[in-house]
Amino acid sequence: MADTTTRRRVCILGATGSVGRSTLEVIALHPSRFEVFALTAHQRIDELADLCRQWRPRFAAVSGAAQADELRRRMAADDVRTEILSGKRALEELAAHPDVDSVMAAIVGAAGLAPCLAAARAGKRLLLANKEALVVGGALFMRAVEQGGATLLPIDSEHSAVFQCLPADRAAWHRRVDHILLTSSGGPFRSRDPESLHDVTPDMACAHPNFAMGRKISVDSATMMNKALEVIEARWLFDLQPEQVRVLIHPQQIIHSMIVCRDNSVLAQLGTPDMKVPIAYGLSWPERIESGAARLDFATLGGLHFENPDPRRFPGLDLAFDALRAAPGATNALNAVNEVAVGAFLAGTISFTAIHHVNAQTLDSLAARFGPQNNLDDLLDLDARAREAAQRLVRALAR
């Protein structure tokens, strides 16, 4: 048993979400290894209050001051001594707190970028689920990781799979890898007639075949924009050229991704589709600990199926490759407009098929604004402009 005096102190950004909760499930299996130091949420304070009662973290944070007051009142009534903070700065402070060892970045969307940068600059062990932070921050983020001496561990299951297949020596990656194959379930509409997608509802889009996830990533899985963002994420994480990142549909999601080596040998990572596996690996790397996920039973698997994505059904994938080849800032804008479009679809304002329309058209209209993104302010400025442009189109398309 590990010594409790050397427990790793973990800050979970986005603790009330799907990845945040799975992280707590893994931590619950290893009380002698990990201590829950800080938990954050956006608005769901009932859920955060329950987690604070259960885990008694030193800090908790929410976005709004009024919600923080309410949470403080509840914690005092229950004699929970968690210190409650609020606002964006609070997330950055907790992510970079000197007593924190590991930061689980599980906020959804570009909102996760600033605390991720703070954790990277403070040299933390950074478990990155928040792919949007890397899509938005790209070069700036990777520089912060390098300069801060942070250890960046991918949590997205595909990127964790690639990471697990790569040699420990980073310098050998380029010599060894020809390209990587990111697998995708194809989402709930993989075999549906593309002509019939206009009328699908948010609940239909969120009914992922293998994973229960937050609603934003679920819609992204249905459009395959999730894979588009993952292509960009992989480009930065593994320092690859766009043509070295390929996508393959694999509905069973048993193979979580593969690397194709220079000699055409293929290495894959397999397991049941359960986020607890990459989370446990991120928490314990370079060791492996119990994850709580079910073990793969090959004899009952049936078959593994693969196909290329149909660009007619999933036009968003090409947007990622175009954005990677465009001027800096294009991937940042793509992420921002997609967040707006998905939000509008979830709110019932636009149709499912309009998501791509908003993404493609807004990105086109913004092309002249792309250029070097030297700091967080540059990134946030372009993010804001892209959101405004996407909102205008959403209003024009509103049903």
Query: Which partner, Mg ion, ligand NDP, none, binds residue 330 by CB below 5 to 8 Å per kind?
Result: none
Minimum distance from residue 155 beta carbon to ligand NDP (Å):
6
CA atoms within 13 A on the CB side of 190: 20
Cα angle, residue 68 at apex, residues 64 and 72 outer, rounded to 5°: 175
Instruction: Let me know: does 187 contact 331? Beta carbons within 8 Å.
Output: no
Q: How far is the CB of 270 from Mg ion (least distance, A)?
A: 15
What is the distance between the terminal CA atoms of the chain, rounded to a whole angstrom?
59
Please report, as residue ranges, which positions from 263 to 302 form the binding site for ligand NDP (by CB under 6 A).
275
**Nearer to ligand NDP among residue 225 and residue 366 (C-beta):** 225
Strand partners, 196: none
Stretch that binds Mg ion, among 21-29, 58-66, 69-77, 156-164 (CB under 5 A): 156-164
Looking up tokens 């009662």 gives 53
Closest to ligand NDP by CB, 63 or 353: 63
Q: Where are the beta strands (DSSP E) in the chain?
A: 8-13, 34-40, 59-62, 83-86, 102-105, 125-128, 151-154, 177-184, 245-249, 255-261, 266-270
Number of CB atoms found within 10 A of residue 177's CB? 20
* Alpha-carbon gap, residue 320 to 349, rounded angstroms: 24
For Mg ion, which is the closer residue by CB, 96 or 228? 228
Shortest Å, Cβ 55 to ligand NDP = 14
Task: Give a three-class secondary structure readout of 124-191.
Answer: CEEEECCHHHHHHHHHHHHHHHHHHCCEEEECCHHHHHHHHHCCCCHHHHHHHEEEEEEEECCCCCCC
Query: Cβ neighbours of residue 167 under 8 Å, at least 6 residues apart?
Result: 173, 176
Residue 275's binding partner among Mg ion, ligand NDP, none (Cβ under 5 to 8 angstroms by kind) is ligand NDP
Under 8 Å between Cβ of 145 and 169? no
Question: Interacting stretch for ligand NDP, rule CB under 6 A, among 214-222, 250-258, 331-339, 373-381?
Answer: 214-222
DSSP per-residue letters across 215-230 = HHHHHHHHHTHHHHHH
The contact mask relative to ligand NDP for 45-84 (x = CB under 6 A, - = no) is ------------------x---------------------
Exactly one of 35, 156, 220, 339 binds Mg ion (CB under 5 A); that residue is 156
Residue 274 is a binding residue for Mg ion (CB under 5 A)? no
**Contacting range for Mg ion; rule: CB under 5 A; set: 157-165, 172-180, 198-206, 267-275:** 157-165
- Any contact of residue 257 with ligand NDP (CB under 6 A)? no
Bridge partners of 126? 103, 152
Partner that binds at residue 16, options Mg ion, ligand NDP, none, CB closer than 5 to 8 Å by kind: ligand NDP
Min dist. Cβ of residue 181 to Mg ion (A)? 13
Q: Which is nearer to ligand NDP, 107 or 240 (CB)?
A: 107
| DSSP helix/strand/coil, 80 | coil
Total number of residues binding Mg ion (CB under 5 A)? 3
Query: Which part of the chain contacts ligand NDP (CB under 6 A), choosing from 119-127, 185-193, 213-221, 296-304?
Result: 213-221
* Minimum distance from residue 201 beta carbon to Mg ion (Å): 23
Pairing of strands 245-249, 177-184: parallel
CB of 331 to ligand NDP, least distance (A): 15
Cα(353)–Cα(120) distance, integer angstroms: 37
Determine, following the binding rule CB under 6 A, whether residue 23 of this chain makes contact with ligand NDP.
Answer: no
Based on the shown chain and the rule CB under 6 A, indicate whether residue 219 belongs to the binding site for ligand NDP.
no
Question: Which of 10, 96, 111, 232 touches ligand NDP (CB under 6 A)?
Answer: 111
Binding site for ligand NDP (CB under 6 A): 14-20, 41-44, 63, 106-109, 111, 129-132, 156, 211, 213-214, 216-217, 275
